[in-house]
Amino acid sequence: MPVTVSYPGVYIEEIPSGVHTITGVATSIAAFVGWAPQGPVDSAQLVLSFPDFVRLYGGIDSRSLLGYAVSHFFANGGQQAYIIRLESGAASALLSLAATGGSLDLSGRNPGDWANSYGVLIKNQSGSSRFRLQTVYNPTGAPTPIVVESFENLSLVAPDPSGRFVVDILRQQSSIWSTAVSGAPTAFPADVTVPAMPTTPGTPGTVLTPASPAGAFETALLVASGGVNFLTHVDLFNLLCVPGEADPTTVSTLEGFCRTHRAFMIVDSAESDTFTSLQTANGPNPNMTGANAINAAFYFPWLEAPDPLNQGRTGTYPPCGFVSGIYARTDASRGVWKAPAGTTDGSVSGVSGVSIPLNDSENGVLNPAAVNCIRQIGVYGTLVWGARTLRGNDEIGSEWKYVPVRRLALYLEESLYRGTQWVVFEPNDEPLWAQIRLNVGAFMQNLFRQGAFQGTTPRQAYFVKCDSETTTSTDQNLGIVNILVGFAPLKPAEFVIIQIQQMAGQTAA
Per-residue pLDDT of the chain (509 residues; tens, 9 = 90+): 678 899 999 999 988 888 899 999 999 999 999 999 999 999 999 999 999 999 999 999 999 999 999 999 999 999 999 999 999 999 999 999 999 999 999 999 999 999 999 999 999 998 889 999 999 998 766 778 899 999 999 999 999 899 999 999 999 999 999 999 999 999 999 999 888 999 999 998 999 999 988 999 999 999 999 999 999 999 999 999 999 999 999 999 999 999 999 999 999 999 999 999 999 999 999 999 999 999 999 999 999 999 999 999 999 999 999 999 999 999 999 999 999 999 999 999 999 999 999 999 999 999 999 999 999 999 999 999 999 999 999 999 999 999 999 999 999 999 999 999 999 999 999 999 999 999 999 999 999 999 999 999 999 999 999 999 999 999 999 999 999 999 999 999 988 899 998 887 766 65
Distance CA 197, CA 193 (A): 12
Q: Is the dihedral of CA 342, 348, 352, 355 positive or negative?
A: negative
Asked if 312 and 59 touch (Cβ cutoff 8 Å), the reply is no
Q: What is the pLDDT of residue 188?
A: 95
Cα 353 versus chain centre, distance? 25
Q: What is the pLDDT of residue 212?
A: 86
Quote the longest CA-to-CA distance of the chain: 113
**Check: CATH 3.40.50.2300 for 30-87+208-404?**
no
**Among 423, 29, 23, which residue's Cα sits nearest to residue 262?**
29
Distance CA 235, CA 239 (A): 13
Q: What share of the chain is helix, strand, coil (3-state, %, to 5)?
A: 30, 25, 45
Distance CA 433, CA 440 (A): 10
Q: What is the pLDDT of residue 506?
A: 67
CB under 8 Å to 214, separation ≥6 — which residues?
247, 249, 250
Asked if 114 and 202 touch (Cβ cutoff 8 Å), the reply is yes
Phi, psi of 81 (to 5 degrees): -150, 140
SS (H, E, C) 228-292: HHHHHHCCCCCEEECCCCCCHHHHHHHHHHHHHCCCEEEEECCCCCCHHHHHHCCCCCHHHCCHH
Beta strand pairing status for 314-317 and 303-306?
Answer: antiparallel
Q: What is the pLDDT of residue 507?
A: 65
State the amino acid at position 473 in one-letter form: S
**Among 369, 367, 371, 323, which residue's Cα sits nearest to residue 349?**
323
Predicted TM-score (pTM) of this structure:
0.94
Residues facing 149 on adjacent strands: 135
Length of the chain: 509
Q: What is the pLDDT of residue 119?
A: 92
Asked if 388 and 402 touch (Cβ cutoff 8 Å), the reply is yes
Number of CB atoms found within 10 A of residue 415's CB: 19
Cα 138 versus chain centre, distance? 34
**Check: CATH 3.50.50.60 for 94-196?**
no
Cα angle 79, 321, 364 (rounded to 5 degrees) comes to: 125
Q: What is the pLDDT of residue 15?
A: 86
Q: What is the pLDDT of residue 509?
A: 59
Distance CA 206, CA 37 (A): 10
Domain boundaries, the chain: 30-87+208-404, 94-196, 427-509
Q: What is the pLDDT of residue 58?
A: 93
244: left (phi over 0), alpha (psi -120 to 50) or beta: left
Cα 279 versus chain centre, distance? 31
**Among 124, 123, 121, which residue's Cα sits nearest to residue 145?**
121
> Omega of the bond prior to 159 within 30 degrees of 0, cis?
yes
Q: What is the pLDDT of residue 508?
A: 64
Alpha helices in 156-274 (DSSP H): 166-173, 216-222, 248-260
Question: In angstroms, what CA-CA distances link 181 with 76, 98, 107, 187, 486?
Answer: 47, 10, 11, 12, 62
Residues facing 251 on adjacent strands: none
